Amino acid sequence: MSETKIVVACCQLSLAVGDADGNRAKVRSAISDAARAGARVVVLPELANTGYMFADIDELRAAAEPLNGPTITEWANLAAQYGLIIVGGFAESGDGDLVYNSAVLIDESGVRTRYRKAHLWNREKDNLFTPGSDLPPVVDTAVGRIGVMICYDLEFPEWIRMVALDGAELLCAPVNWPLYPAPDGERPTEIVKIQAGATVNRMFIAAAARVGQERGQAWLGGSVIVDADGFPLTEIQLDTETIVLATINLADARDKAISERNNVQTDRRPELYSRIGKPLEVSP
Q: Is the pLDDT of residue 1 over 50?
A: no
Q: Radius of gyration over alpha carbons of the chain, in Å?
A: 18
Distance (Å, whole) CA 165 – CA 152? 20
Q: Is the pLDDT of residue 94 over 90?
A: no
Distance (Å, whole) CA 36 – CA 28? 12
Q: Is 10 noted as a catalytic residue in this protein?
A: no
What is the band of 262 on the pLDDT scale with cuts at 50, 70, 90? very high
How many other C-beta atoms lie within 10 A of the C-beta of residue 15? 27
Distance (Å, whole) CA 39 – CA 86? 10
For 87, left (φ over 0), alpha (ψ -120 to 50), or beta? beta
206 burial via Cβ count (<10 Å: 0-12, 13-18, 19+) = buried
How far is the CA of 16 from the CAs of 24, 99, 151, 211, 268, in angstroms?
11, 18, 18, 11, 44
Distance (Å, whole) CA 146 – CA 169? 6
For 276, left (φ over 0), alpha (ψ -120 to 50), or beta? alpha
**What mean pLDDT comes out for the span 137-148?**
98
Residues comprising the chain, all counted: 284
Distance (Å, whole) CA 52 – CA 15? 8
Distance (Å, whole) CA 180 – CA 144? 35
Residue 2 pLDDT: 60
Q: Is 172 noted as a catalytic residue in this protein?
A: no
- Choose the catalytic residue: 117, 124, 169, 172: 117
Residue 137 pLDDT: 98
Question: E strand or H helix at 160, and its extent?
Answer: helix 157-165
For residue 245, list its beta bridge partners: 9
- Choose the catalytic residue: 92, 151, 169, 190: 151
pTM score over 0.85? yes
Distance (Å, whole) CA 18 – CA 209? 19
- Choose the catalytic residue: 10, 11, 26, 46: 46
Q: Is the pLDDT of residue 78 over 50?
A: yes
Q: Is 117 noted as a catalytic residue in this protein?
A: yes
Q: Is the pLDDT of residue 110 over 90?
A: yes
Give the chain's mean pLDDT: 96
Question: Could you report the per-residue pLDDT of 201-260, keeping only the tens digit for each?
Answer: 999 999 999 999 999 999 999 999 999 999 999 999 998 999 999 999 999 999 999 999
What is the band of 282 on the pLDDT scale with cuts at 50, 70, 90? confident
What is the band of 35 on the pLDDT scale with cuts at 50, 70, 90? very high
**What mean pLDDT comes out for the span 64-90?**
98
Pairing status of strand 213-214 against strand 217-218: antiparallel
What is the band of 44 on the pLDDT scale with cuts at 50, 70, 90? very high
Question: Could you report the per-residue pLDDT of 143-183, keeping only the tens digit for each?
Answer: 999 999 999 999 999 999 999 999 999 999 999 999 999 89
What is the band of 188 on the pLDDT scale with cuts at 50, 70, 90? very high
